[in-house]
Chain A
Amino acid sequence: ETGVTQSPTHLIKTRGQQVTLRCSSQSGHNTVSWYQQALGQGPQFIFQYYREEENGRGNFPPRFSGLQFPNYSSELNVNALELDDSALYLCASSLRQGSNYGYTFGSGTRLTIV
């Protein structure tokens, strides 16, 4: 059984650019969530996908968008990057939405905006 994998591990972008981050969920998990973790803070919920549909979104602007594919892998896209977007981006998968058994996190993508 494979865990949650994310790519790339590190990325440096300049303001105004666009970025795509990728996530492969744990085998059998159909729900994927994305989180942003700024330095010294807890992870903040961006959005969640269940069976290819977005079914929850946090307080993030529309320039944060995502996709989930039939194999349950997912992408996070961020347009018009800002300096404050610098953070650790975490993908988490779970067996089903609203899981009482927790979410498994990937190792994250460290995004730096210069």
Chain B
Amino acid sequence: QKEVEQNSGPLSVPEGAIASLNCTYSDRGSQSFFWYRQYSGKSPELIMFIYSNGDKEDGRFTAQLNKASQYVSLLIRDSQPSDSATYLCALTGSNYKLTFGKGTLLTVNP
């Protein structure tokens, strides 16, 4: 089993809809969880981090973490064409390194 798995995508949603991105992980010792956005040819940009079970909201973005199910998700409300990018789920554990999933390509159609 891969350490971090993301829904395969690509994901396509109409403008104004909710985009749901999902991620599961294998290491129960994982401590902190991150969502990065990466535009084509650019470097990853941190959107949100979460380390406690539950929801964390920041503007149109909500991260959800369920450590019992080893599941983390990102919801994007009122999706905009500018949200079109690859979304990377990442985590850190006791060894401090960031472990990334493969990413999910999101396209928001006008």
> Which residues of A are interface residues toward B (Cβ below 8 A)?
31, 33, 35, 40-45, 48, 55-56, 58, 88, 90, 92, 97-108
Contact A101 B49, beta carbon cutoff 8 Å? yes
Chain B: residues with Cβ within 8 Å of the partner, total of 25
For A35, list chain B residues within 8 Å (CB).
Answer: 98, 100
Q: How far is the CA of A102 from the CA of B32 in the complex (A)?
A: 9
Contact B43 A55, beta carbon cutoff 8 Å? no
Q: With A100-B32, A103-B46, A107-B42 in contact, is A55–B103 under 8 Å at CB?
A: no
Q: List 13 A-B contacts (CB under 8 A).
A: A35-B98, A42-B88, A42-B100, A43-B88, A45-B97, A48-B96, A56-B95, A98-B94, A99-B32, A100-B92, A104-B46, A107-B42, A108-B43
Near A by CB (< 8 A), chain B positions 76-110 give 88, 90, 92, 94-103
Q: How far is the CA of A69 from the CA of B24 in the complex (A)?
A: 37
- Let me know if B45 is at the binding interface, CB within 8 A: yes
Closest Cβ neighbor of B34 among chain A residues:
A102
- Let me know if B44 is at the binding interface, CB within 8 A: yes
Q: How far is the CA of A74 from the CA of B27 in the complex (A)?
A: 30
- Let me know if B12 is at the binding interface, CB within 8 A: no
Nearest-Cβ distance from residue B85 to partner chain A, whole angstroms: 14
